[in-house]
Amino acid sequence: MKKIKDICILLTAVWAIVSCATTDTETTLYSEAAITAFTLGNLNQYTQTTNSEGVTSTTKKTYSGSSYKFIIDQHNRQIYNNDSLPVGTDAKHVLCTITTAKNSVALFQDLTDADAYYYYTSADSIDFSQDRKVRVLSSDGTGRTDYTIKVNVHKQQANEFVWQPADGEFPEEPTLPQGIKQLLGSSTTEQYAISDNGKLMVSFDNGATWTQDMADDNEPAMQPTKDISLVSYPLFLADSTDYVLIAGTHVEKAADGSDAESYSVVWRKTVDYSQNAPASTWVYMDRNGNSNFDLPVLDKLNLVKYDDSILAFGGDYSTIYQSRDNGITWKKSSVYKMPAEFDQNATSVKVKVDEDNFIWLYCYGTGQIWKGRLNKLGWVFQ
C-alpha cells in the first residue's frame, strides 16, 4: 500500500481515482466528504483451553462481523460498535467495507508515521487493535473530514463469574418486632416474616402490624419449618406484579417428637398491587413426585435473584444451585461457584446483590467478605 504525504499529490490521486471510476464523458465533482456506512467482514477468533493434564491448546473459528452494528457519530466524527466483538477476536487483521458519500475517498493514517496516509480498499487487512484515524477527501478536493474508528473487543468471557476479596461492614441484624423471630424480605407492597411459633406472616404497613399469611389448612404438612429464605422480583411482562418465592426445609416428626425426615419445599405467589387487584395466595410448587432437579435440603439457605435466575446458597457451600424457571427446577451451576479460598469454618453466610450486579458474601465466624460479578453484567455500553 502506497503511503502519501504531499497534499497536492494526494488531491491529484483523488482526481485520478474519480476519473477511473466513471465511464461518463463528464465527471461531476462534489465537496462532501463523509463516511456513510462501516461494516466488518469475516473475523478470526482464537480460544485457548487447558485439559486436565495441564496441556493448553488453541482453536480457531471464523465468524461474520457484519452482524455487529457500528454507530457513525457524524457530530463527533467517531465510528464504534456498542456490542463488542467476542473475546479472542483477532483485531489486528480485519477486512472492512467503508462507504463514502459523493465519490469521496477514504485513507487510513499510517500507524508508524502520523503524517502519512494510504489508500483504503476493502481487500486490505487493517489493524484495528488500536483506534484508527481515517481521512475522507471530497472528489472536488475542497472537503476533508477526519474520523476515529474504534473496534471494541471484549477482554473477558461474558459468562465468567469472578470473585474477589472485599472490605466492608457486615450488615447489622434488624430489630425484630414483637412476636417475630425472623424477617424474610419484602415485595413492593408486602413484608414477610416468621413468627415465634413458626407461622409465615405478612405486613402491609412496613412492619407495624403482622397477620398470618399462609393458612394452617393450606398444605400444612408442606410448609417450611427451618432454614427459610425468600426472594421477590417484578414479574416479567406483567405491570404492578411481583413474583415472590419462599423455600426452606420441612421436618417430619416421629411419634416421639424427634426429627424423622427432612426435605426441601418451595412455595410461590404473585402479588398484583394494582388498584382493586384480588388478594394473592401462596401456592405449593408440587412437582407430582418428580424428584429430578428438586432443590436439595440446604442448611442456612440464602436465595437471591441474579441474571434472570434464582441462586441458592447453603449447606456445606460446596455447590451453588440455580433455577432458570422461577423455582420449579434446580441444577448445580457450572458458572457460579464459591470462592476458591472460601473458609469452610464460616458459621453462616449472608448473601445480597447490589445495584452494580455484584453478589456479596458476608461470612460470619470467619470475617471473610467476598464480592463477585458475572462479567457481562459489568460491561458498560456507550
Domain boundaries, given as residue ranges, for the chain: 3-150, 161-378
Q: Which amino acid is at 68?
A: Y
pLDDT of residue 381: 58
Q: Tell me the per-residue pLDDT of 184-230, one tens digit each, with 9 for 90 and over.
A: 999 999 999 999 998 999 999 999 999 999 766 655 568 898 999 99
Q: How many CB atoms lie within 10 A of CB 90?
A: 16
Distance in angstroms (rounded) separating the CA atoms of residues 182 and 228: 9
pLDDT of residue 382: 54
For residue 25, pLDDT over 70 is answered with no
The answer to whether 163 touches 339, Cβ cutoff 8 Å, is: yes
Q: Tell me the per-residue pLDDT of 52-80, one tens digit each, with 9 for 90 and over.
A: 777 888 999 999 999 999 999 999 999 99
For residue 238, pLDDT over 90 is answered with no
Q: Tell me the per-residue pLDDT of 166-187, one tens digit each, with 9 for 90 and over.
A: 998 999 988 999 999 999 999 9
CATH number of the structural domain 161-378: 2.120.10
For residue 16, pLDDT over 90 is answered with no
For residue 160, pLDDT over 70 is answered with yes
Average pLDDT of the segment spanning 139-144: 92
Q: How confident is the model at residue 17 (pLDDT cuts 50, 70, 90)?
A: low
Average pLDDT of the segment spanning 263-288: 91
pLDDT of residue 144: 95
Q: What is the mean pLDDT of the chain?
A: 89
pLDDT of residue 359: 97
Region for 326 from its dihedrals, namely left if φ exceeds 0, alpha if ψ lies in -120 to 50, beta otherwise? left
Annotation: CATH topology of 3-150: Immunoglobulin-like (2.60.40)
pLDDT of residue 243: 97
Q: Quick one: cell of 94?
A: 480485519
For residue 303, pLDDT over 80 is answered with yes
pLDDT of residue 19: 54
pLDDT of residue 287: 78
Ordered strands of the 309-313 beta sheet: 302-306, 309-313, 321-323, 331-332
H helices then E strands: how many in the chain?
1, 27
